[in-house]
Structure 1
Amino acid sequence: EMPGRDRTLRLQHGNRIEALCVLGTHIHADVYGAAPVGAVSFSVKHTEGVSVEVLCRGQAEVESLPSSGTRRPLAKGTVLRFSMSQASTEVNDNKVTVSFYAEEGKPIDQAGVFLTGIGISLDVDADQDGVVEKNSPNKASWTWGPEGHGAILLVSCDKESSLTPSSDRDNERVFNKEDLLDMSPMVLRTEGPQRLPRGYEIILYISVHDADKVGVFHVQNPFFGQRYVHVLGRRKLYYTVHYTGGTAELDFFVEGLCFPDDTFSGLVSIHLSLLETLSEGIPHTPVFTDTVVFRVAPWIMTPNTLAPISVFVCSMKDNYLFTKEIQNLVNKAGCKLKVCFGYINRGDRWMQDDIEFGYTHAPNKSFPVVLDSPREKGLEQLPVKELLGPDFGYVNKEPLFEAITSLDSFGNLEVSPPVTVAGKEYPLGRILIGSSFPTSAGRRMTRMVRDFLYAQQVQAPVELYSDWLAVGYINEFITFVPTSDKKRFRMLMASPAACYKLFREKQKEGQGEATIAASFGMGFAFSGYSGTDTKRLTINKVLSNDILAQQNQHVQRCIDWNRDILKKELGLMEEDIIDLPTLFKLDKQGKAVPYFPNTVTMIVLAKDLGIPKPFGPVLGGECCLEQQIRCLLEPLGLCCHFLEDVSSYHGSLGEVHCGTNVQRRPFAFKWWHITP
């Protein structure tokens, strides 16, 4: 018995009234209130299609009445309860008659009800198996977790039209079958006579609040082939359903129009009502309502530990060699390379900054979705023009008022592999956002992007402090690599302390005069150190530079602050973290820039790592930084490929990771099994 499905009918003595009875609901009729003056008892007769029960005041138990009535005393609070379990084949084919009697059993009057039984149910896939079930008791609510339930909606952001806020979404567009695969099915099942009794109609409706979040299409089947008509959504709050009679199923398809954000929880309701009107000119009133709830599937980020599908890189005149190196790496890793040429990025080579690959997922379908950053540096044509195939979604979070700072680029957005923190599982990992120090009025990721990320709910964000860097990206001091042991991953961190330790060891071994590699591309790193001959920079010179040492102590403290946050928020132990030797220096504003190419900003393609070649001191024919990094990573089953990307990227403060972007396989884990 479903709550809110009972209604009251007023009997009138001396009259026969007509009513629709929806299967699975009850109609209550007050016998005492309808009795004529002088009546002391009553009896009930009814056809077999109706079951009638008596409820007396003060009596909890319900008594079923046989179809031909015996007289019963009439007491205040006596109520009849009608229900029907089978649909009528004709209007008014069932009836209930109540007879009233005076003392001595003398009949006074009768009250009658003609009943038409109708089955009506709005159905969705509430058990999340990809199939619409019949009248699920859980269809009107949504709960998280492996035992949870509720229908799921995809945002159809993989079509050009859903990017345009103009009215073409409201056109009755005719779709192909592929479009419907992205939508969630909804079925209206009806059962009853060939036509509804006069004065009744069935409508589907949504609230004004949900109108810009959802679109509903109806499959109409005229003899010349199927048409998909837009029936609910923007500017269409209700739709009158054509009742066909007999046993019928009407197919609808539902699409989400926007991802959850700070003003939208992700839940959308669609209602169906059976309305009646007493006569011409009198408004309709509902006699039955059914509701289904959908949750819009969130946008989900993919960590480095997921298998790569495609690598995107920007091709410029001066990075031909870099592109070739990436091609070799991609071939080894067995994924695809997509090169984005100059015309589309107009001299902007920071691929990572501009877009973040993710995906969205429902029981019936999943597809990749690109989140476009609010940067305006030239690449912004890229996602729409190049990536949006028939199954590539696109979301753009334009900040309305806030100034766009460097921290809004997505180099400042990463996601950890799956972790368990103090017993709480994050099976899809946690988003990491670079932010300014809590006390400073520094740069902060635009609120709109932050709110959007928090609103997705399934990868609870962790805010890190990255404002100490000149560019301010967390990918300059942290990355994750997959491993095949029990932990499944390691976190790599940039570490000046590790670099000083390594250089001191080499100095002790008598190799302090080893030169740091060719001056190739390094001019920028040492400008500002008067009297340092960049042609002959040795380990000894680096170690004797007190200013550099102090600056790197500062950087190490900034990194350690983040290390502590990450250990706590990702549940990491010290042995889960690997320190890669790195040096920084501070610019005129006191912000850190890499001293030599920063190896942490690597590209991770499963076991194959494309690492910026650090050009460190060469001892015995091998760069000691490369050797150290190999020693740290190769025992974990990882292959290190050092890429000479310095000339093309390092000169303008970015490394390999920033020049590339990777689209990865989605998680197998179903996000709706999470309990946020």
Structure 2
Amino acid sequence: MPLQRIVRVTLEHSSSAVCVAGVETIVDIYGSVPDGTTSFEVCSSPGVDVYISPNMDTARQRAGRKRWLFDMGLEIIVVMNSPSKDLNDSQVRISYHSESKDAALAYGVLYLTCVDISLDTDADCDGKVERSYSSKNNWIWGPKGQGAVLLVNCDRDDPDGTKRDNSDQRVGSLEDLKDMSLMILRTYGPSALFDDYKLVLHISSSDVEKARVFHACACEDACPNYKHVLGQDKVSYVVERFHGDEETFYVEGLRFPDAGFSGLISFHVTLLDDSNQDFPESPIFTDTVVFRVAPWIMTPSTLPPLEVYVCRVRNNTYFVDAVAALARKAGCKLTICPQIENRNDRWIQDEMELGYVQAPHKTFPVVFDSPRNGELQDFPYKRLLGPDFGYVTREPRNKLVSGLDSFGNLEVSPPVVAKGKEYPLGRILIGGNLPGSSGRRVTQVVRDFLYAQKVQPPIELFVDWLSVGHVDEFLSFVPAPDKKGFRLLLASPSACFKLFQEKQKWGHGRALMFEGVIGNRNVKTISINQILSNENLISFNKFVQSCIDWNREVLKRELGLAERDIIDVPQLFQSEKRKAVAFFPDLVNMVVLGKYLGIPKPFGPIINGRCCLEQKVRTLLEPLGLNCTFIDDFTSYHVLHGEVHCGTNVRRKPFSFKWWNMIP
């Protein structure tokens, strides 16, 4: 409810006032009262509703044609609901009476001009900017919520441009305009009113660096006709009425939610009385709308794939060919980053994370560029940023990053329900140290950014026991055809030892690992018997299992998982400088393309002509309707402490669920 305005009536001369449709105006009749006044009457023009409010404990009443006892506690409230056709075309007349005379002692006349003012957005997220009569200055989450959505205009619609669209103060193209949110100012009333009154669009100084507004000045089929009016160095704008009753504005976001910025941005329009040149302008009415900047949203591996990315380097031709074949099976587009661009940096998963932003009128992918800044650092900006493909990054001020700041250490779960709370967009998973310890942790600016998005509240897992230190070294998610919709895969030394003990029991203890490894003469075969008699390996993997089990309990609690939702995938690790690295190609470090899985070829013991590790994985996953393809990444990735997932990246279809319908 807008603040009530007070206007005063005098006996010396008639008064005039501007009121806003639907907004209560209090008429003060006590400024000059004839002596002997004991009662008063109020009459008004058609279309002017007058109410008498005796006190806070008594409901207001229509004034009607009756006399009211004169009481200084009474309030006279005037409401008009339709705009005037002409200046001062309505009135309220007050007649003052005494007990001794029938005729009125005096009259006070208030002439009224009604103007209808509304600043409107797509507050119900249906893709239309409709007139809103409800409170617009609050943003409410949920399916019955309210508030408009603003996209950070972080793509580059000009194919010849070099910067993101929101990096300058102009509309670069009509495609650029489609990424912005509409805001419409509606003003209905006599045009002559605006000779003495003006409308000012304004934004707070705290929000001015977070959004930019353009005014559609003339016909809307050419970019020069959009005037930059708010944002950055502009906090207010006296609205030029190019189109009379309705003026159209386009709003673009400049910043994502982050530390110190909730994502909420308010815009205001104020009607100012500028009729007296001897006095400052005075405010008559303010209308406010609020936008929430759309969060950057991650996509879990269970969503349908759209495009697969891989780097071609000097020794991975077979790997690239295998990924290409898998992409064809899954019906995905394949993008290969050539060696001249990647400069032999193959870790495309670590360089970037692919997500999206969404408003009711537009959805487009946005790449989050990691602060690792390897030889691939130019790829996200130079190759991915483009029409309807946005870009965001976060760089620590001191430029100091660790291996945990690579985005193999950034994953997201499928939708879950945990402890009675729904997470329809899943939860982000990042790796760090144990609570209270002083180990490695994701840099603060990245953590601040992830937490500020709100729709996928992060879970911090324990990864400091790993040499590389990424969550994708011990977990992944695959789709499942049941109500749960997915399974969590966890690397399991216990499951691996159990499998090898079974094979040993059945007389296969001499079966060798690493037979058939191509292109690496330093790899020595090792038998099941040798593995099961290696006390150091067994002891170290007990430690690894305890670390994974700690994460297992966190994941069960925070994702609402039961044991039946988890699949233990056999895997062993070995110690390198007191940290863990995969002993054989890390089976959970896979690329998931719908039902097609690209899994590191483990080169496990061959029993009855088949790799027992591959056979075990097939037994675990194929009943879910999944198709397992084992890709040889041994020489080109595994010996460098990475696997298939580390060497690929996937752009996926956005969630069907709209983020504004959730309750964080």
Alpha carbons 2:241, 2:247 under 8 Å: kept: no
Shift of 1:160: 7.6
Instruction: Identify the residue that residue 488 of structure 1 maps to in structure 2.
Output: 485
Q: What displacement does 1:376 show?
A: 1.8
Query: How many angstroms apart in 2 are the aligned matches of 1:245 and 1:431?
Result: 47
Residue 384 of structure 1, CA deviation? 0.9
In the TM superposition, 1:136-535 aligns within 5 A as: 136-159=133-156, 169-170=168-169, 173-196=170-193, 198-221=195-218, 227-243=225-241, 248-277=245-274, 279-401=276-398, 403-518=400-515, 520=517, 535=524
* Correspondence for 1:82: 78
Contact 1:555/1:592 (<8 A) preserved: yes
Aligned to 1:100: 96
Residues 18-62 of structure 1 deviation map (CA, whole Å, 9 limit, x = unaligned): 211111012111223331344444444433242333334588243
The alpha-carbon deviation at position 487 of structure 1 amounts to 2.0
- Deviation at residue 219 of structure 1 after TM alignment: 1.0
Q: CA deviation at 1:222?
A: 5.3
Moved more, 277-286 or 370-379: 277-286
Distance apart, 1:116 and its partner CA: 0.8
Aligned-pair identity in percent equals 50
Alignment of 1:516-665 (within 5 A): 516-518=513-515, 520=517, 535-587=524-576, 589-665=577-653
Q: Which SS does the other structure have where 2:15 is aligned?
A: strand
Deviation per residue, 1:535-584 (Å, 9 max, x gap):
44222122221111111111111111111111111111112111111111
**Which of 73, 84, 91 is 2:87 aligned to?**
91
CA displacement at 1:450 relative to structure 2: 0.9
SS of residue matched to 2:378: helix
**Is the CA contact 2:154–2:165 (under 8 Å) kept in the aligned structure 1?**
no
Describe the superposition over 1:62-85 as per-residue Cα deviations: whole angstroms up to 9, x where unpaired: 34345xx66654332343222222
Measure, in 2, the Cα distance between the counterparts of 1:160 and 1:485: 41
Q: How does 1:48-127 map to 2 (within 5 A)?
A: 48-56=46-54, 60-66=58-64, 72-101=68-97, 103-105=100-102, 107-127=104-124
Structure 1 residues 573, 126: closer, same or farther in 2, change over 3 A? Answer: same
User: Partners in 1 of 2:221 and 2:653 — Cα distance?
Assistant: 41
1:21 to 15, 19, 22: 19
SS of equivalent residue, structure 1 residue 32: coil
Q: For each residue in 1:255-303, what CA deviation from the matched residue of structure 2 results, as whole angstroms up to 9, or x when unmatched?
A: 2111111211111111111111352142112111111111111111100
The 8 Å contact of residues 123 and 292 in structure 1, kept in 2 or not, is answered as: yes
Residues 630 and 174 of structure 1, relative CA distance in 2, 3 Å threshold = closer
1:341/1:244 Cα in 2 relative to 1: closer, same or farther (>3 Å)?
closer
Given that residues 41 and 71 in structure 1 are in contact (C-alpha distance below 8 angstroms), is that contact kept between their aligned partners in structure 2? yes
1:521 touches 1:651 (CA, 8 Å); kept in 2? no
Contact 2:511 2:528 in 1 (8 A): yes
Distance 2:472 2:503 in 1: 28
- Tell me the amino acid that sits aligned with residue 4 of structure 1: P
Question: Which is worse superposed, 629-638 or 351-360?
Answer: 629-638
Q: Distance in 1 between matches of 2:43 and 2:179?
A: 53
Q: How many residues align?
A: 660
**What secondary structure is seen at the aligned counterpart in 1 of 2:465?**
coil
Which stretch shifts more, 380-389 or 43-52?
A: 43-52
Distance 1:224 1:150 in 2: 28
**How does the TM-score come out when normalised to structure 2?**
0.95
- CA-CA distance at 1:520 after TM superposition: 3.3
Q: Could you tell me how far apart the structure 2 residues matched to 1:454 and 1:344 are?
A: 32
Match of 1:672 in 2: 660
| 1:384 to 1:12, Cα distance in 2 relative to 1, 3 A | same
Q: Residue 460 of structure 1 aligns to which amino acid in structure 2?
A: P
Q: Which piece of structure 1 moves more, 184-193 or 138-147?
A: 138-147
Distance 1:356 1:86, change over 3 A: same
Q: Is contact 2:156-2:164 (8 Å) kept?
A: no
**Counterpart for residue 8 of structure 2:** 10
- Look up the equivalent residue of 2:645 and give its one-letter code: H
> Residue by residue, what CA displacement relative to the aligned partner does 1:230-267 show, whole Å, maximum 9, x if unpaired?
21111111111124697x12111112111111211111
Match of 1:530 in 2: none
- Judged with a 3 Å threshold, the aligned counterparts in structure 2 of structure 1 residues 641 and 83 are, in CA distance, closer, same or farther, namely same
Q: Secondary structure at the match of 1:292?
A: strand
Is the contact made by 2:182 and 2:250 (CA closer than 8 Å) also made in structure 1?
A: yes
- Residues 156, 163 of structure 2: 8 Å contact kept: no
Q: CA deviation at 1:463?
A: 0.9
Q: Which moved more, 1:323-332 or 1:22-31?
A: 22-31
Distance 2:176 2:129 in 1: 18
> Per-residue deviation at 1:159?
2.6
| CA distance in structure 2 between the aligned counterparts of 1:207 and 1:428, rounded to whole angstroms | 32
2:31 counterpart SS class? helix
Q: What runs of 5+ residues in structure 1 fail to find an aligned partner?
A: 528-533
Shift of 1:343: 2.2
TM score, norm. by length of structure 1 = 0.93
Query: Tell me, what secondary structure is at the counterpart of 2:51?
Result: strand
